[in-house]
Amino acid sequence: MNCQETTAMMVAYLDQELSPSERKMVAAHLAECDSCRRELAALSAVQGRVRRSLHQQAVEAVPASDAWVRLQATLAAARPAYPARIAAGLQSIVLSIRTMFLGGTLMRRFVLVSLVTLALVGGVVITVPSVRAQVREMIDTWFHFQLPGGRSGVGIGFGGARQAFTPYLPTWLPEGLDLGLNGGSTMPGAEYVEFEFHPMPRRKGDDRFIRLVEGKGEAVPGLPEGREVMVHGQRAVFTSELSDRHEIQVDPPTPAGARLLAWYMDEIKIELVSNLPESDMIAVAESLVPMEEGIGQP
Amino acid sequence: MDLIRRSQAGDERAFAELFEQYKNLVYKTAYLMLGEPQEAEDALQEVFLRVHRSLNSFRPSKGAFSTWLHRITVNYCINQTRKRRLRFLPITQVHPEQMPSQPSPESRLGEEDSVAQAMRDLSSRLRAVVVLRYYWDMSYAEIAQTLGIPLGTVKSRLNAALSALRVELEPSASVHLPDKEVVK
């Protein structure tokens, strides 16, 4: 092992983060190299200074005493008038109903899960008057929409009249891709929706996917750094650096090789993550149209 | 974990306890990353708003809550630093006669202040690994999980950070930087 290789491992050596064999090699080189020993001592001193400085700075770093009060006020302003759990429960049912109505190539187990969920929460809705009233309030606004291929959806209740924005859906998709998963909420305080398109049914060797996340509100971070392109006449950014997305969505993980195309349409931030060619991603982005909003029963 | 489950179920009192328990983690990390109390306060508010909004997407099976919280905090701080880079100054503020004068030897920074200053000169990605390692005492594997980067990248970033700090703190030092990552 030479000096350059040893230098590259010195910090990990000091941090006790080398494997036993690496540690042995570094130690052997240090035993016979004055210059590297001096370098190690200097790095060790810097580490010590950094540790002391960080701990000293942190001692003085204490949050303001009114931090919780301020947060509470912000949360209260964003909280919907009805309980979040009921809203989330209803949302999942409505989304499930919607997916069932799309027909065609549904997985049997998904239908089963949807029916069981519907039965369980439906029971609560029917038997508890206060919940029934809230549910009636929530489902008075519906979204009608059409997917590529001419199929239309029956409708989605996205939280009644209180929805924060009207989601967009593509009118064009690459051959063979269809709506697979969806979720989210357009209610204040949780303002995002997510759709995933992939081959339906899944085909071995075909891992193409498009994930579409749409969000609104000040809490949605701005555009990342990346290469600029135009989408819908707006500045959009292409990037393969996806780590910032963790702020919005932790699950499911983004497959390797995916890229992000992000832009704003009015106040709605759109993130399109996909492993498709760039031209297809832009074509899907350009084809987005708002869902048609309906009032009352669909 | 019970606190998190209750918070996920919409229990506001549990969320208040969660805030109380973890506010120092977020605030101290943000303060060490951003260097300003006001920015750390903003980070505390913003990070917990994000936590409140996406708590249901947290999966205990995929890692500790503190790891998830650290990730949100560090990502927020990195984003803030990016925004800061684009801050513009009025033209009059950069006239040479209005530049601040060099500090006199008497007003030299103390040892810890000079380390803090050198830390601020690091890129936010390098600062993140330094804070997680030398303040929070995380192992390299924990840092890799928190930041969602490979173990080798943790090693190379720490190496780059320490080498850069050494050059900054000991101007006479000549340090070989073996990794290929961008240092600043």
Q: Residue A233: which region, alpha, beta or left (left: phi > 0; alpha: psi -120 to 50)? A: left
Q: Select the residue of A4, A7, A61 nearest B27 (Cβ to Cβ).
A: A61
Task: Kindly tell me the sign of the dihedral angle through the C-alpha atoms of A105, A109, A112, A117.
Answer: negative
User: Of the candidates B54, B166, B176, which has its C-beta nearest A4's C-beta?
Assistant: B176
What's the number of CA atoms in the CB half-sphere (13 Å) around residue A146? 9
Q: Using CB atoms, pick whichever of A46, A83, A248 lies closest to residue B162.
A: A46
CA nearest A46: which of A69, A72, A14? A14
Confidence of residue A121 (pLDDT cuts 50, 70, 90): low
Q: Which residue has the higher pLDDT, A241 or A170?
A: A170
Q: What percent of chain A has pLDDT over 70?
A: 57
Nearest to B130 by CA among B32, B5, B3: B32
**A246/B116 touch (CB, cutoff 8 Å), yes or no:** no
Of B57, B75, B169, the CB nearest to A249: B57
Percent of residues in chain B assigned helix, strand, coil, to nearest 5: 70, 0, 30
Task: Please give, rounded to a whole number of angstroms, the shortest distance from the CA of A79 to a CA of chain B.
Answer: 10
pLDDT range class, residue B40, cuts 50, 70, 90: very high
Question: What would the two tokens of residue A46 be?
Answer: 């810097």
Contact state of A4 with B178 under an 8 Å Cβ cutoff? yes
Q: Which of residues 15-34 of B touch A (CB under 8 A)?
A: 16, 19-20, 23-24, 27-28, 31-32
From the candidates A43, A49, A53, which should be mutated to test the interface with B, based on the most B CB atoms within 10 A?
Answer: A53
Average pLDDT, chain A: 72
Greater confidence, A196 or A114?
A196
β-partners of residue A141 are A295
Distance of CA A217 to the CA centre of its chain: 15
Q: Which residues pair with A178 in a beta bridge?
A: A198
pLDDT given for residue B144 in this prediction:
93
pLDDT (average), residues B89-114: 44
What element of type H or E holds B170?
Answer: none
Alpha-carbon gap, residue B5 to B15, rounded angstroms: 10
Q: Which residues of A touch B135 (CB under 8 A)?
A: 51, 54-55, 58
Contact A253, A273 (CB under 8 A): no
Q: For residue B86, count other CB atoms closer than 10 A to its CB.
A: 6
**Chain B nearest-CA residue for A245:** B75
Scanning every residue of chain A, which has its alpha carbon at the shortest distance from the alpha carbon of B42? A67
Give the pLDDT of residue A78: 65
Task: Kindly state whether B117 is in contact with chain A, defined as any CB-CB distance less than 8 angstroms.
Answer: no
Q: Are A150 and A133 in contact (CB under 8 A)?
A: no
**Of B46 and A193, the one with more pLDDT:** B46
Burial A122-144 (b: 16+ CB within 10 A, else e): eeebeeeeebeebbeebbebbbe
pLDDT digits (tens, 9 = 90+) for A147-205: 676 655 544 444 443 456 777 888 888 888 887 766 655 544 546 677 778 887 777 78
Would you tell me which residues 32-91 of chain B have a C-beta closer than 8 angstroms to some C-beta of chain A? 32, 37, 40-41, 44-46, 48-50, 52-54, 56-59, 62, 68, 71-72, 75-76, 78-79, 82-83
Lowest-pLDDT choice from A86-90, A267-271, A284-288, B162-166: A86-90
Q: Between the CA of residue A25 and those of A7, A29, B160, B163, what are the distances in Å?
A: 12, 6, 21, 21
Nearest residue to A148 (alpha-carbon basis) of A184, A109, A176, A180 = A176
Q: Do B166 and A46 touch (CB under 8 A)?
A: yes
> Which tokens is A122 given?
């439906």
Q: For residue A15, count CB atoms less than 10 angstroms from its CB and return exposed for 0-12, middle for 13-18, buried for 19 or more.
A: middle
Average pLDDT of chain B to the nearest whole number: 79
Q: Which residue of B has its CA nearest to A224?
A: B79
Task: Say yes or no for a CB contact (<8 Å) between A225 and B162.
Answer: no
Q: CA dist A287 to A237, A255, A277, Å? A: 17, 24, 16
Which among A104-118, A261-275, B118-132, B170-184 has the top mean pLDDT? B118-132
